[in-house]
Amino acid sequence: MATRSLGVVMNGVTGRMGYRQHLVRSVLAINDEGGVLLSNGERILLEPVLVGRSESKLRDLCARHNLKNWTTDLDGAIGDPDNAIYFDAQVTSARVEAITKAIAAGKHVYTEKPITETLDQAVTLARLARDFGVKNGAVADKLFLPGLLKLRRLIDGGFFGRILSVRGEFGYWVFEGDWQSAQRPSWNYRAEDGGGIALDMFCHWSYVLENLFGKVEAVTARTVTHIPERTDESGRPYPATADDAAYGIFELAGGVIAQINSSWCVRVNRDELVEFQVDGTHGSAVAGLRGCRIQHRSTTPKPVWNPDLPITHAFRDDWQEIPDNDLFDNGFKTQWELFIRHVVQDAPFPHTFLAAARGVQLAELGLRSSAEGRRIDVTEIDL
């Protein structure tokens, strides 16, 4: 079996997401399995080149995982002809400059989301990638979660009949950082650093809704900063200038209505940190990160509203758990494999810069809807 290597510049892997999901659980895991398997039987091994600002962190990562290539010279790594792909997991505010350099150098680009802070920037990158003829893609990891893959199976099988609505709940309590340390970095709560839950999560909801239920045609949203002051990693209080909760109503093509609450100021009273309830004429489902429960119309109980009597019916017991019926790989790793096949064999990859731009557009319109207190139509992006 033929095997060859592909150089991948990985910028930002000293951060939590870049390190755990992209370096360890994707790129290194792919190599441990012998590389990405192509349709012709060939395998592609990935040669990561770690890029960042801290020499000590990069050196430690390479020593920990027996890697040899690291540098603080981004221009040099991008300019190396042995490196075919540039991957970006930096903070959002640093992404445009680096991706622009990579595209100009003829590198194929794969990036975390949101791709940029503004729609204008996202469209500019999408046009640039098109004009230079480079492959491009953005992370759409939620689509590859076992729970949403099971939901996709239900949709494809016609389980729901006509889908009526989607209700999503995402979030958890992120500690303020004073009496307990925060689970998220402080820049997430500063708008000037690219923070905010609308910019973060509406980019996810855009591709989830579009790929499962239909494109978003209109949005009505309310974004809020519930906790005005937090404490940073050094123990210093700072004003939280970005939204930490966003409540959205999304009108989809075909008449489906989606309501999704996103909050870092909510205590979890559900089975998973994110859950979507989908209601249709023939059945309903509740999908999370891993699990998915269903209730067919033939097994739906007939509740009667009577506040004078206690509820004795156990409604949760009427739902049936969907079996796995498959082995689900890490979603980030699965998408890396798809992108590598896209680069090497021109295999389909729908999660392009243009698709990512639609996510940034939805975040911008959500923030605008909140500021102006009105419903806003979503228009097509013209490249």
Residues 305 and 201 in one domain: yes
CA pair distance 128, 103, nearest whole angstrom:
7
Let me know if residue 51 belongs to a domain. Answer: yes
Residues 92 and 129 in one domain: yes
Let me know if residue 171 belongs to a domain. Answer: yes
Residues 177 and 262 in one domain: yes
Q: Which residues does 202 contact at the CB level (< 8 Å), separation at least 6?
A: 246, 248, 262, 359, 362, 363, 366
Per the structure, the count of domains in the chain is 2
Q: Measuring CA to CA, which residue among 166, 276, 256 is closest to residue 215? A: 256
pLDDT category at 31 given cuts 50, 70, 90 is: very high
Let me know if residue 380 belongs to a domain. Answer: no
Residues 244 and 312 in one domain: yes
Pairing of strands 320-321, 292-296: antiparallel
| pLDDT, tens only, 122-177 | 999 999 999 999 999 999 999 999 999 999 999 999 999 999 999 999 999 999 99
| pLDDT, tens only, 328-367 | 999 999 999 999 999 999 999 999 999 999 999 999 999 9
pLDDT at 1: 65
Let me know if residue 312 belongs to a domain. Answer: yes
Residues 132 and 268 in one domain: no
Query: Which range of residues forms the domain containing residue 52?
Result: 3-141+331-353
Let me know if residue 61 belongs to a domain. Answer: yes
| pLDDT, tens only, 290-320 | 999 999 999 999 999 999 999 999 999 999 9
Helix/strand number for the chain, H first, E second: 10, 18
CATH number at residue 110: 3.40.50.720
pTM as predicted:
0.95
Residues 64 and 172 in one domain: no
Q: Is 48 helix (H, G, I), strand (E, B) or coil?
A: strand
Residues 113 and 61 in one domain: yes
Residues 254 and 345 in one domain: no
Residues 318 and 339 in one domain: no
Let me know if residue 379 belongs to a domain. Answer: no
Residues 318 and 179 in one domain: yes
Residues 12 and 29 in one domain: yes
CB 88 within 8 A of CB 137: no
Residues 248 and 204 in one domain: yes
Let me know if residue 85 belongs to a domain. Answer: yes
CA pair distance 147, 144, nearest whole angstrom:
8
CATH number at residue 299: 3.30.360.10
pLDDT category at 2 given cuts 50, 70, 90 is: confident
**Type of residue numbered 224:** V
| pLDDT, tens only, 80-102 | 999 999 999 999 999 999 999 99
Q: Is 194 helix (H, G, I), strand (E, B) or coil?
A: coil
User: Which residue in this structure is represented by tokens 């989607």?
Assistant: 166
Let me know if residue 92 belongs to a domain. Answer: yes
CA pair distance 383, 125, nearest whole angstrom:
10
pLDDT at 230: 98
Mean pLDDT across the chain, nearest whole number?
Answer: 96
Pairing of strands 376-377, 163-171: unpaired
